[in-house]
Structure 1
C-alpha cells in the first residue's frame, strides 16, 4: 500500500511515519542531528534513557526552534529504573527539557539491577512496571500522551494484554528484510497496536545495502538502497520507521519514501529466507531462553 505520512495510534493521536532514531549516535553528534532533522521536515524524534543522550536530544530540539507542539517525541524507561517509574519519568522530562512526552515506552520486559554491570532483578516483575506506567498515564495526562512497549514478542504481548487496563499504543521492534518479525506485526495489527521499526537498514555497514534485490529496486527508482529499506517499512499498514544518521545528507535522504508495489515488498521480505540476522543482541538477555522476540 502507498506510504502514509502518519499512522494513527489507539489514543487517536497521529504519529509521523518516519522519525529520527538516535540509538548508537555518537556523543556530540546527536544534538546537531536532531536540530538539523527538525529544521528539515522531520516531526518525530526517538530516544531512550538507556542511550544516555536525552540531554543532547533536548538541546537539539531547543536549538531547532520548531514549536514543541509540532514534534512527536518518544523516549523509553530504562531497565534498571523499572522499580522507580515515576522518578524515571521526571528525569527524562527534565533531561529533554519538555513538559510532556508524546510516547513513553518500556524499553524491555526485563527489570535490571542498578549494579555495574546490571543483571536481571528477580525481585521485580515487568508486569508491575506496566501497572506503574498505566497509573502515571492516568494520573498525568498532561505529561504522558501515550504509553507503549519495546522489544516485545507475541508471548510477552499476550502476557501483558491479559492484565493490562491500557493497551499499548506502540510496540517498537527491530524490523528489516533480514528480520521481518511478521508474527509480531500480525499480532499487533489485530490488537490495534502500532509497530515502530528500528534498525530498518539492518545495522551499520549492513549487508542489506548491497543485497541484489535492494540495489535493483534502488536503481529502478533512482534512490539509495537505504531509501528502499526505509520505504519498505513505511509502506506497511500500521508501521512507523526510525532510520538513524548524524550525517546531514543521509538525514535528508532517509526521509525520501518510495511507494513500493506489493510484489516488491514481498520480494524484499523474502530476503530473510536466505539472509537472516539481527542487529540487536543485548548480552544480558540470555537471548532466546527468556523468550525475547526472534525474527520470523
Structure 2
C-alpha cells in the first residue's frame, strides 16, 4: 500500500503517482492500465496532454473502483476565463463526476490570478473537485491567492530533482501546509552520476529508484512516467529499501554540484 499525504479536505494523496505527459492516446490507455494493475492508485493528466479520454477509459476498464483511484487534471491558463466549462469537458472526457485534484497548470496573467483561483474553489464547493491546487507557482503567488480568498492551494506541483533540490523552498511549502508534487525528477537527473550509481549498487536497485526514493524521503509526491511495463513496475517498487541520512545528504549535495 502506497504511503499517502493527507490533504486539507481529508483526502489521502498517494505519494507515488503515474504521470501521463507526452503519452499519446494509445500509449496513455495501455500504460495507465498497466500502472493500475501494478498497484498505482494515483494518475496525473491535464487538458494540455490531450489524453484525458484515454486515461479515463483506462481507469474505468481497470476494474479498480473509481473511489480508489486519485485522479488529477490541470487547467491551462489560456482556458482560465472558461474554467468551469473546461472542467466540465475534462470530466466528460475522463468519464467521471469529479476529479480528486484540479490544478492551475502554471500562473495566469496578473489580472486573472485570483479570479482563476476563485473558479477552482467554486468547483470544489460544487463537488466537482475534491481538492484544488496549483502548479509552477512561487510561494509569493500562493500567498496572494490565500490572502485574497482565505483558502490556500492543497498542492503545488513543481519541477524537482536532486539538481534542483532547494531545502528553503521545501520549507516554505511545509510552513504553509502545502503538499509538494515533484515532476521531471528522472528527466532532469544524470542517472550515471557516481553518487547515484554507488548508492544503487549497495541496495541492488537502479539509480532511478534511488532518485524516486530520495523524493519520498523528503515527503515529495512523485509522478514518474513510462510506457514500458518493467519501468512502470520498478518506479512503483520503492518500499524494499530505505536511504540512510547519509545517502539522502549525498543526493542533496548534487544540487550544489549542478
**Both proteins in one fold, TM over 0.5:** yes
Shift of residue 202, structure 1, vs aligned partner: 3.1
Q: SS at the partner of 1:65?
A: coil
Q: What is the TM-score normalised by the length of structure 2?
A: 0.94
1:103 and 2:101 aligned: yes
Alignment partner of 1:92: what SS?
A: helix
Please say if residues 4 and 235 of structure 1, whose CA atoms lie closer than 8 Å, have aligned partners that are also in contact.
no
- Structure-1 residue corresponding to 2:253: 270
Unaligned runs of 5+ in 2: none
Which of 235, 241, 246 aligns to 2:227? It is 246
Q: Which residue of 2 aligns with 1:132?
A: 119
- 1:29 aligns to what? 27
Work out the CA distance in 2 between the residues paired with 1:11 and 1:236. Answer: 22
Aligned counterparts of 2:108 and 2:165: Cα–Cα separation in 1: 23
- Per-residue deviation, 1:201: 0.8
More displaced 10-residue stretch of structure 1: 144-153 or 178-187: 178-187
Structure 1 196/213 Cα, relative in aligned 2: closer, same or farther at 3 Å? same
Q: Deviations over 1:210-245 (max 9, x none)?
A: 1111111111110111101111111113x2111111
Distance, in Å, in 1 between the alignment partners of 2:84 and 2:134 is 16
* Contact 2:24–2:51, Cα closer than 8 Å, also in 1: no
Cα contact 2:113–2:145 (8 A) shared by 1: no
Task: Note the alpha carbon deviations across 1:45-81, whole angstroms, 9 max, x for none.
Answer: 0011111111111121122111101101111111211
| Separation of aligned partners in 1, 2:208 and 2:256 | 20
Write the distance in 1 (CA, Å) between the matches of 2:45 and 2:75. 10
Q: Offset of 1:6 from its aligned partner?
A: 1.0
* Structure 1 residues 185-218: Cα deviation after superposition (integer angstroms, max 9, x where no partner): 1111101111011111134xx4x21111111111
Note the C-alpha offset of 1:164.
2.7
Cα RMSD between the aligned structures? 1.6
Who is 1:213 aligned against? 195
Q: How many corresponding residue pairs?
A: 256
Tell me, yes or no, if the aligned pair for 1:49 and 1:76 is still in contact at 8 Å.
yes
Distance 1:134 1:247, change over 3 A: same
> What is the rounded CA distance, in whole Å, between the counterparts of 2:99 and 2:246 in structure 1?
38
Q: 2:136 matched to 1:151?
A: yes
Which stretches of structure 1, 4 residues or more, deviate above 3 A after TM superposition? none
Corresponding residue to 1:222 among 182, 201, 204: 204
SS in structure 1 opposite 2:80? helix
Contact 1:47 1:74 in 2 (8 A): yes
Contact 2:136–2:157 (Cα < 8 Å) also in 1: yes
Alignment partners' CA distance in 2, 1:73 and 1:39 = 16
TM-score computed with the length of structure 1 as normaliser: 0.83
Task: State the alpha-carbon separation in 2 of the partners of residues 52 and 201 from structure 1.
Answer: 23
Counterpart pick for 1:232 among 190, 204, 214: 214
Consecutive unaligned residues of structure 1, counting only runs of 5 or more, are 112-121, 276-296
